Amino acid sequence: MPQQILPMPEHIAIIMDGNGRWAKKRGLPRTMGHKKGAQVFGDITRYCQKIGVPYLTVYAFSTENWKRPQEEVDAIMDLMREYLKDARRYEQENVRTFFIGDKSPLADDIKDMIQRVEEGSSQNTGLTVNVALNYGGRNEIMTAVQRIAKEVEDNKIKANQVNEQLFETYLYTSGQPDPDLIIRPSGEHRISNFLLWQCAYSEFVYMDVLWPDFTPKHLDEAILAYRNRDRRFGGI
């Protein structure tokens, strides 16, 4: 048992899983699960802000999720549009919003709204929310490698200057602390290509609740589980 309880996590990351199963259980289309999931995301954002969590990252759409039926992809993108339209509210509440992932294949209107929301909230000092959209950990690492290789080729940096500190500045989460706590609801025990570099020393909490049923109480439970862990970062 750890001697002392850990401080509150500085960065919480969540894999919002179980929307489809939640809908199926109720005889509803999967898209209804995503709709409820998006509402829960709003509630959890507000709760994080209330309890003073500085960074929250959520996995909304992975580089692999394009394989889903077109109708489901379209529904998730429409939820994203609604969220982006609503983002002014968060902006006024001092939330800083980033979208992490490869934005290039997104629809133009979504790209424009993302740019507006990121710029509009750039001076905010409260909760930072990263929405992972068309995000893949391997893709993020590969993009960083390609950019660094290009800079070496162009003689802007030397190969022997490439180290962990420099590498991190090429990631989407540049300048942010690594997640202390990664929560995956829905009973699955996988990382699914999420924050592969950043999760090196994260604590994982898996929960049986489906994301649309996730409440601030579940977040409290996960935080408490985290605070009772013994983090050694490779030491003893």
Residue 21 CB, nearest distance to ligand FPP (Å)? 3
Does 65 participate in catalysis according to the annotation?
Answer: yes
SS3 146: helix
**Selected binder of ligand FPP within 80, 114, 171, 222 (CB under 6 A):** 80
CB of 17 to ligand FPP, least distance (A): 5
Give CA 216 to chain center in angstroms: 17
Say if CB 65 and CB 76 are below 8 A apart. yes
Residues 103-162 that bind ligand FPP (CB under 6 A): 131
In whole angstroms, the minimum distance from the beta carbon of 84 to ligand FPP comes to 8
CA distances from 3 to 18, 227, 228 (A): 35, 11, 9
Site for ligand FPP in 29-48 (CB under 6 A): 34, 37-38, 41
Neighbours of 199 (CB within 10 A): 16
Q: Residues with Cβ < 8 Å from 204, sequence gap 6 or more?
A: 182, 184
Nearer to ligand FPP, 18 or 101 (CB): 18
Binding site for ligand FPP (CB under 6 A): 16-21, 34, 37-38, 41, 58, 60-61, 65, 76, 79-80, 83, 131
